[in-house]
Amino acid sequence: MGLTHTFSRDRFDAVLFDLDGVLTPTAVVHSRCWKQMFDEFLTQWSGKHSIPFQPFESQSDYPTYVDGKPRYDGVQSFLESRGIQLPHGDPSAEPGMGSICALGNRKEALFHEMLDAQGVEPYPTSVIVVKELRRLGFKTGVVSSSKNCRAVLKAARIEDLFDIRVDGIMAAERGLAGKPAPDTFMEGARGLGVPVKRAVVVEDAISGVQAGSAGGFGLVIGIARRGDAAALKKNGADIVVSDLGELL
């Protein structure tokens, strides 16, 4: 395929990357944390309401309801899929089970515990691609729903490879809707001074390729790390690869 064939300087000026699952393998850590948190909650909920326990399914529930979305949106989306209603609560709530925010904060606490214990290494081929794109004159940015984005970039030692970072903290401060809305990607393009048609989106989440497609970006690349190439294509990816190294 060839990098300069896919990322033509005649057509594009910037490339916007999702973080988890695209630049770093932290999507796997997130998935484990979501499962632990939801299974703890669902065990408690099933006992309280005398219904069978149905665990959180990493292979189906995570990509469908949670992956790529802001944390509290992911909690609400999954609970709604099970017909469970909880109060939204306050973002400052202690990690727990009593509200959407408390559950989201419990997941956040688990993520920090795993990140501190395991650290994070970026995908080597992703780093090669980003460096090569910068050498070719592209502007590069990270667009992530995570409020841990900067911490992960620093832990992976790749923070200096990007001209802009649009993360969960910035989205909350500026009132930007999360993926699958295109707002955060559009903010990234705006911050780089690039029209959306001249920008590329690289995503591994269904909600992410939906956001790139909805925003009218010039090219949306999906990374099918979970064997979900068909779903990514169906939801807006123009090109689907299993690893960015395939574009080299």
Tell me how far apart the alpha carbons of residues 164 and 183 are, in angstroms, rounded to a whole number: 15
Q: Spot the catalytic one: 13, 18, 67, 228.
A: 18
Q: Which two tokens stand for residue 215?
A: 């925003």
Burial of 74 from C-beta contacts in 10 A (0-12 / 13-18 / 19+)? buried
Q: Which amino acid is at 10?
A: D
Assess whether 18 carries a catalytic annotation.
yes
Assess whether 204 carries a catalytic annotation.
no
Q: Which two tokens stand for residue 22?
A: 């695209």
Reduce the DSSP state of residue 98 to 3 states and report it.
coil
Q: Spot the catalytic one: 13, 20, 61, 167.
A: 20
* Contact residues for 240 (Cβ-Cβ < 8 A; gap 6+): 221, 222, 223, 224, 229, 232, 233
- Give yes or no for a cis peptide into 180 (omega within 30° of 0): yes
Tell me how far apart the alpha carbons of residues 66 and 200 are, in angstroms, rounded to a whole number: 23
Q: Which phi and psi angles does 14 have, rounded to 5°?
A: -145, 155
C-alpha distances in angstroms, 156 versus 6, 136, 194? 26, 23, 27
Catalytic positions are 18, 20
